[in-house]
Amino acid sequence: MVSYCPICGKPVYFGEKKRSLGRDYHPLCLKCQQCKRQLTAGQHAEHDEKPYCTICYMRSFSPKGRVRNCKSDIFTIENIDRHGKRQTQSQS
């Protein structure tokens, strides 16, 4: 059975497919919907059934500010370095 790429709508044949989050993509179609970076199957976020890299997803869809009950910071893209580690005040 041939599946169809959710990005371009064309058939995805067995030898070329990249399976991610339950869908089959063409390798060149599996890219961030914002920055257009190639994504690794299963290693990305999704919003409205579209793939996003973690950085673009956090910038666009993560909550900003503080958690009301615990008063701790929410990790936003501004306070996480490019290696995924939280920056301290002295690093900013």
With DSSP H G I counted as helix, E B as strand and the rest as coil, what are the percentages for the chain, rounded to 5? 15, 25, 60
The CATH fold of domain 3-79: Cysteine Rich Protein (2.10.110)
51: left (phi over 0), alpha (psi -120 to 50) or beta: beta
Is the pLDDT higher at 12 or at 83? 12
65: left (phi over 0), alpha (psi -120 to 50) or beta: left
Sorting pLDDT into bands at 50, 70 and 90, what band is 92? very low
Kindly list the domain boundaries of the chain, sorted by start residue: 3-79
Residue 29 has pLDDT above 70, yes or no: yes
Sorting pLDDT into bands at 50, 70 and 90, what band is 21? confident
pLDDT of residue 69: 56
pLDDT of residue 76: 52
Work out the percent of the chain whose per-residue pLDDT is above 90: 38
